[in-house]
Structure 1
C-alpha cells in the first residue's frame, strides 16, 4: 500500500451505511482507502479524532445566496464561505439572484466567477437563472458550467430577476430536458397571495407587527397551487424539477403521489421550518420572516414525517442574508421587512438537535444534509461520502456538546438571526477540504482553499 499523506482516524466514522471505527487514507486531496483503524502505514501524518467525536463527510448546501457582485453589503464570498466552513459545509452552490448582475447570462456568470476568485474557504458551484427573455442563454450557461437553473413563480423581491409564467416554463423546460439540466423552483403562485393581500387590506384590524398578519399574506394555497403546476409540467414534459424551501404540509400528498408515479421530482425543506413555529414568533420579531413562511407546529411535524418517509429528500439552508435595517426591526413591520434567514453556519447543529430529539440517526442526518444535496447537483461521484475516490471533505464534530447561539460566534456578514439564544447540540470542531484543514475551533486557514466548481469538472 502506498503511504498516504494523511490519515484521519476515529471511532465514529460515518460511511455510506454504517458508523464505526475506521481510518480514512488521504492523498492528493482524495480519499484513497477507508480501512480498519489499526491499519495505518508508518510515516504518514495521523489526525486522531476523540472517541466520542463524529467523523463524517463535509456538508453540501445547494441553496445559498451570497449576493456578490453587486450587493456585498448583504453578504459576500469571503464571509459566506467562512460561515460554511465553521458549520462543517465543504461544498455550497450559490443562487443566481440577489447579485448584480444575476446569473442569467454568460456575461453575468463570468462576472460572478471573477468576483469569487480567491475568496472562497470552501468549494463553490453556481446555479443559473431562468427569467423571461433569457431562453437563448440557457445552453451557453450550462456549457459554461452552471449546475442547473432556478426560477421564481412569484416576484423574487429584486427587479433584476423577474418571475416566470406557465408559458415561460413551457418554453424553457424542453430546452432544459435537452440539456439534461434540473430546474429548481420557488413554488408560490402570485394569485393566492394577491387575493390574501386584498382581503387583508379590507380587514378592520390589521397590525403589520403581528406575525399572523404576514402569515395570512402568504397562504398555503400559493404553495399548493404552484406545486400542482410544477408537478403537472414535470409529469407532462418528463423534465427533472426540484421544489426549493418547501413549507406547506398540504402539498405533500400530491408530491407523494407524483413521486410514486415516477415523476422526476425532488423536494427540499430548510432548518427554520423544522425548528420554529408560527405560534412562537413574537410581536415585531421580523428576523423570523422568510418566504414561504414558517408555519404552525402541526405543519412542522408533518414536514418531519415527510422527511422520515422520504417524500422530502433533503434539508438545505436557503441562506438569505440582508443588512439589518432591511429587517425593519425598529418598526417591527413584517409586511415591509426583507424575507430571508441565514442558516448556513447552523444547519448541522439545528438539524442534529431536532433530529436526535425525534429518534433519528446520524446516518439519516448525512442523507439529508450531504448525500441528497450532492445527488441533486450530480456531485455524488466526487462529494458526499467517505469513500475511496471521493474528495477528502470531512467534518469532525462533537454530537454531545451544546452551545448558545450568540452574535460573537456567527461568521456571516450580518449577525441578526432568529436562532439567537437557542441552545443547540453538535459543535463543529474541524473541517477538512480535500484533506486540508480549513477550520479548527474558531480559526480559519490563512489562505482560502476553496475552488470554483463547474459542471464539467464534477466527474
Structure 2
C-alpha cells in the first residue's frame, strides 16, 4: 500500500501513554499506527526526538469576520492558529457584525469563512435578549454550542451582541435543554462589575490594579453559582469559559460531582501573567475576567495540576492597536481582550509539562481530547486509526523569544512579546496536509473545512 504521508519515530501521545511509533496517513485520516511502518509513502517526515500530538482544538476564538474584519479575519487568524499548533477551533458568535444570533447571520458567517481557513472550524450560536425563538434554527443549521454573557458586553451598533438578563438566561437554558445543546457562559455579575467600575472612574482610579479590583473574584463566583442553579433547575448542559479563579473552579467541580452536566475551561494568560504583569505590560494584557494576583494564580495552578480544569483555550480576542490606547491613561476605556492564540500549545507545555510536571497525556486531554468530546467533534482530538490526521510536532528542546514580526495576527500586538518560551511547535498538519512548518512558515492555500456535530448539516454543507 502507498500512503500519502508517514510521520516516523516520534514520541506519540496517546490517551494514556507516550510511545515511539510511526503514523501512516491516507485520504486525510490515520490509516495505521505501528512501531515501524516500512511501506512506501509520497512523503515521509522524521519526527525523532519530538512529541507527536493531536492538534489543539481551541474552542474559544473570536474571528471578527464578517463586519469587523479590520480587527481579525479568517485568513490572518487561522494562520496564527496553525502556527501555534491548533488544527481546529470554534468561533464565538460575537465581535463579528452581525452577531451570530439567528440563521441569517450564521449563513453570512459560513459564506464569509469559505476558502479562508487554514485549519478546520466549527461555529457557535449566541443567546441574547430577544432570540429565544431563534435557538432551534441555529441548532438545526449546525452550531455546536451556544454562548452568552452574564457581564455587560456589546455596543449600541445595530446587530451587535448583548448580554443576557436573568429571564433570558433561565428561559434560554430551558430551550437549550430541550434541544440537548450546550450553553457556554461568560460568568461575571454585570451589576457588580459595572457599578464597581463606575465608582473607580468617578474616584479617578483608572489604573490596571483599579480595573482588576472592579472585577473581583466574588463577582465571578456569584455568577457561576447563579448559572449553576439555573442549570440545575432546567437540566441544561453548561460550559464555563475562561474561569480565572480556583474558587469558581471548585464550585463547578462540586456541581459536577453532584450530577450536573457541566465543564469548564481556562486560558494560558491566567496561568502565565498576574496583576503585577498587567501593570507592567499595559493595555495589551487587559481581559475579562482580569488577570489575578500571584496568590490567586497559585491556587488556580493547583486546580489544573489536580485535574479539575477540563480544557485550555485561548480566548483570542483581537482588536486594532488604537483600541488598546487611552489618551487619558484610563484602562477602563481600552478594549478588554488578549491576542494570544499563536502561543497556546508551546507556552502551556513549557509552563505545565516542563516546569510543573503535568503528564503530557493530561496536557493533551486538555487541549484536544476533552474539547472534541464535549463539543461533539467525533473525528478530532486523538491519535487513532480512522480519526482525522490532525497532528502537531512539538520540540521541547527548543527555546525562542516571542517577536512581533513572527506573529500572524492582523495586528501584531500580544502581551507575550519578549517572553522566552522553552518549547516550540515545529509542524502542524490538518487532515494530513502540512499547513505550518517552523522554517517555511504557513504552507499552501487555506484547506480548512467547516465541521459540525449535526449529521444532517454535514451531509448537505451549506
Alignment partners' CA distance in 2, 1:264 and 1:195: 32
The match for 1:309 is: 306
In the TM superposition, residue 415 of structure 1 has moved relative to its aligned partner by 1.1
Residue from 433, 436, 444 that aligns with 1:436:
433
Whether 2:343 is the aligned partner of 1:333: answer: no
The match for 1:53 is: 50
The match for 2:90 is: 93
The match for 2:371 is: 373
Whether 2:3 is the aligned partner of 1:4: answer: yes
Deviations 1:138-174 (A, max 9, x none): 1111111110100011212434111111211221112
Q: What is the DSSP-based 3-state SS (H/G/I as helix, E as strand, rest coil) of the residue aligned with 1:282?
A: helix
Residue from 285, 288, 294 that aligns with 1:288:
285
What is the 5 A alignment of 1:37-116? 38-41=36-39, 43-116=40-113
Over the residues paired in the alignment, what is the CA RMSD in angstroms?
1.7
The 8 Å contact of residues 399 and 422 in structure 2, kept in 1 or not, is answered as yes
Alignment partners' CA distance in 1, 2:233 and 2:373: 23
The match for 2:131 is: 134
In the TM superposition, residue 329 of structure 1 has moved relative to its aligned partner by 5.8
The match for 1:447 is: 445
Deviations 1:276-310 (A, max 9, x none): 01123335711110000000111112111111223
Residue from 375, 382, 391 that aligns with 1:394:
391
Q: What is the DSSP-based 3-state SS (H/G/I as helix, E as strand, rest coil) of the residue aligned with 1:367?
A: helix
Q: What is the DSSP-based 3-state SS (H/G/I as helix, E as strand, rest coil) of the residue aligned with 1:345?
A: helix
Q: TM-score, normalised by structure 2?
A: 0.94
Alignment partners' CA distance in 2, 1:96 and 1:360: 33
Alignment partners' CA distance in 2, 1:385 and 1:167: 39
Q: What is the DSSP-based 3-state SS (H/G/I as helix, E as strand, rest coil) of the residue aligned with 1:300?
A: helix
Q: Aligned pair count?
A: 452
Alignment partners' CA distance in 2, 1:35 and 1:46: 17
The 8 Å contact of residues 281 and 415 in structure 2, kept in 1 or not, is answered as no
In the TM superposition, residue 23 of structure 1 has moved relative to its aligned partner by 1.1
Range with bigger deviation, 144-153 or 359-368? 359-368
Deviations 1:106-145 (A, max 9, x none): 0000000111111110001100001111111111111111
Q: What is the DSSP-based 3-state SS (H/G/I as helix, E as strand, rest coil) of the residue aligned with 1:388?
A: coil
The match for 1:350 is: 347
Deviations 1:160-219 (A, max 9, x none): 11111121122111221121110000101112113423542564xx342x2111111112
Deviations 1:363-391 (A, max 9, x none): 12111111111122111x21011101100
Range with bigger deviation, 43-52 or 262-271? 43-52
The match for 2:186 is: 186
Alignment partners' CA distance in 1, 2:30 and 2:363: 21
Range with bigger deviation, 120-129 or 449-458? 449-458
In the TM superposition, residue 10 of structure 1 has moved relative to its aligned partner by 2.1
The match for 2:32 is: 33
Deviations 1:251-297 (A, max 9, x none): 23322211210211111100000100112333571111000000011
Alignment partners' CA distance in 1, 2:179 and 2:198: 41
Alignment partners' CA distance in 2, 1:45 and 1:180: 43
The match for 2:197 is: 197
Q: What is the DSSP-based 3-state SS (H/G/I as helix, E as strand, rest coil) of the residue aligned with 1:161?
A: coil
Range with bigger deviation, 432-441 or 314-323? 432-441
Deviations 1:222-266 (A, max 9, x none): 211100111111222221000101112232332221121021111
Q: TM-score, normalised by structure 1?
A: 0.95
Whether 2:384 is the aligned partner of 1:423: answer: no
The match for 2:296 is: 299
- Cα 1:331–1:104 change in 2 (3 A) is same
In the TM superposition, residue 332 of structure 1 has moved relative to its aligned partner by 3.7
Alignment partners' CA distance in 1, 2:330 and 2:202: 18
Deviations 1:75-127 (A, max 9, x none): 00000010011111110110000101111010000000111111110001100
The 8 Å contact of residues 84 and 90 in structure 1, kept in 2 or not, is answered as yes
The 8 Å contact of residues 283 and 332 in structure 1, kept in 2 or not, is answered as no
Alignment partners' CA distance in 2, 1:98 and 1:194: 20
The 8 Å contact of residues 152 and 194 in structure 2, kept in 1 or not, is answered as no
The 8 Å contact of residues 129 and 150 in structure 1, kept in 2 or not, is answered as yes
Range with bigger deviation, 125-134 or 213-222? 213-222
